[in-house]
Amino acid sequence: MKITRRPAAARGQTELGWLHSQHTFSFGEYRDPAHMGFRKLRVLNDDVVEPGQGFGTHGHKDAEILSYVLEGRLEHKDSMGNGSIIETGALQYMSAGSGVTHSEFNPSRSERVHFLQIWILPDGTGGDPRYAEKQLPSETKPNSLNLVFSGNPRDGAIAIRADADVYLGRLDAGRKLVHETRPGRGLWIQVVDGDVAVGGTRLEAGDGASIEDAAKLELESAGGTELLLFDLR
């Protein structure tokens, strides 16, 4: 098993006053040839938007765009006619397909919104754009991996146009869990909160890691954790 850690402090940064972003992979004006993505995972941004600010209408094409709101509320509008406010703990999916425009704003006058923005490359190009939302249930299983997005949807996961399984994992202090994968797959772990150890490597909030050549992955947390696990072709 080969593990390559991507420390939180090593991520690229964008500071615009209203936007505070940390980029796991190259994005916008942050360019690093050594960090252009991992397999089909192309963008993983940790974004904080100040009250009343946001991203104006802009376009996307051929990208599976996932968002996870960690704190605050995110207002979404798009050219498909969707318009809603995504609450804390909710997941959002937009398949850009042949082309879509949208905007994302923080509707609050006093609180920041903090969310993860993730892009996965689709298996093919074109197609009609699609949109979906999912509120994580309060009874999301602890000490387990909960499938939330998948190219092979099951267990209530949102269907995406990529050969990828995206899990939200939660572990209590001192607990372990095991993830088994298929030959030829690659894994990426992104720690949302807390700590996790995998294959002798300790990861903390904001850290990520790529994992290759692992038939079985054992995750253990000393103090409790929340993480995203990407299982990718």
Is residue 149 situated within a structural domain?
yes
Domain count, the chain: 2
Contact 38, 17 (CB under 8 A): no
What pLDDT, on the 0 to 100 scale, is given for residue 175?
97
Is residue 102 situated within a structural domain?
yes
What pLDDT, on the 0 to 100 scale, is given for residue 138?
66
- Residue 26: alpha-carbon gap to chain centroid: 15
What distances in angstroms separate CA 179 from CA 24, 77, 83, 229, one per listed residue? 23, 36, 36, 10
Q: Are 104 and 157 within one domain?
A: no
How far apart (Å, rounded) are the C-alpha atoms in residues 7 and 12?
Answer: 11
- pTM for this entry: 0.97
Last residue of a domain, one of 135, 157, 190: 135
How far apart (Å, rounded) are the C-alpha atoms in residues 211 and 203?
Answer: 13
Q: Are 156 and 66 within one domain?
A: no
What pLDDT, on the 0 to 100 scale, is given for residue 137?
75
Residues, the chain, total? 233
- HEC string for 164-224: EEEEEEEECCCCEEEEECCCCCEEEEEEEEEEEEECCEEEECCCEEEEECCCEEEEECCCC
Task: Write out the residue range of the structural domain in which residue 186 sits.
Answer: 144-232
What pLDDT, on the 0 to 100 scale, is given for residue 94?
98
Is residue 84 situated within a structural domain?
yes
Write out pLDDT tens, residues 95-108: 999 999 999 999 99
Is residue 4 situated within a structural domain?
no
Q: Are 154 and 129 within one domain?
A: no
Q: Are 72 and 161 within one domain?
A: no
Q: Tell me, what CATH number does 206's domain have? A: 2.60.120.10
Q: Are 112 and 131 within one domain?
A: yes
How far apart (Å, rounded) are the C-alpha atoms in residues 106 and 86?
Answer: 10
Is residue 167 situated within a structural domain?
yes
Is residue 128 situated within a structural domain?
yes
How far apart (Å, rounded) are the C-alpha atoms in residues 213 and 199?
Answer: 12
Which amino acid appears at position 61 of this protein?
K
Is residue 26 situated within a structural domain?
yes
Which tokens hold the place of 200? 């002798």
Q: Are 114 and 154 within one domain?
A: no
What pLDDT, on the 0 to 100 scale, is given for residue 57?
98
Q: Are 102 and 34 within one domain?
A: yes
Last residue of a domain, one of 106, 135, 164: 135
Last residue of a domain, one of 107, 135, 163: 135
Q: Are 199 and 170 within one domain?
A: yes
How far apart (Å, rounded) are the C-alpha atoms in residues 160 and 63?
Answer: 10
Q: Are 34 and 87 within one domain?
A: yes
What pLDDT, on the 0 to 100 scale, is given for residue 136?
86
Is residue 54 situated within a structural domain?
yes
Half-sphere exposure of 99 (CA within 13 A, CB side): 2
Positions in the chain whose pLDDT score sits under 70: 138-139
Q: Are 115 and 155 within one domain?
A: no
Using DSSP bridges, classify how beta strands 113-120 and 41-49 pair: parallel, antiparallel or unpaired.
antiparallel
Q: Are 97 and 184 within one domain?
A: no
Q: Are 36 and 100 within one domain?
A: yes
